[in-house]
Amino acid sequence: MQFTVPQFIEHEIKIVGPLTFKQFIFFFIAGATCFILYFIAPFSVFLTACLVLGGGAVVLAFLRIGGRPVPTILGNFLKFSVSPKMFIWRKTEAPIMIFKKEGIKEKEEAKAELPLKIAEKSQLKKIRTQIETKTK
């Protein structure tokens, strides 16, 4: 049997009329702020603030840029702006571990003849130190 797979099922439930809960909250905050400004500010300031707050509420509630809502974009922008931008790779020095297999003595003797040579300080470590201390 073949079944059709539903697509585009990621939608928010409408809570207040045609608005989702987030959209309603944006409009409620803008409306409450305008209501308070009506009583404490001159009419010209009240009118200008209501136009700006109403426009901001409409943008936050309905505008999508690249398929993403504006609050998500603003949140990502703030997170990027606050987080550190310099990433420094710090290699942890782990001891060299040698595992021996039991039963194969010939290979162990051949390996014992060749000593393991470890460079004291490699070019990569020198370059890393120069970059970290910003010297040439």
Is 119 part of any domain?
no
Is 74 part of any domain?
yes
Residue 16 pLDDT class (50, 70, 90 cuts) = confident
Residue 117 pLDDT class (50, 70, 90 cuts) = low
Q: What domain range includes position 67?
A: 14-82
Sequence-separated (6 or more) residues with CB below 8 Å from residue 54: 30, 34
Q: Does pLDDT of 24 surpass 70?
A: yes
CA distances from 97 to 6, 100, 101, 105 (A): 53, 10, 13, 19
Is 59 part of any domain?
yes
Task: Return the structure tokens found at 133.
Answer: 């201390």
Is 95 part of any domain?
no
Do residues 55 and 24 make contact, with C-beta atoms less than 8 angstroms apart?
A: no
pLDDT for res 48: 97
Is 113 part of any domain?
no
Is 124 part of any domain?
no
Task: Provide the CA 118 distance to its chain's centre, in angstroms.
Answer: 40
Is 133 part of any domain?
no
CA separation for the pair 106, 109 (Å, rounded): 5
pLDDT for res 127: 82
Is 72 part of any domain?
yes
Based on the structure, what is the number of domains in the chain? 1
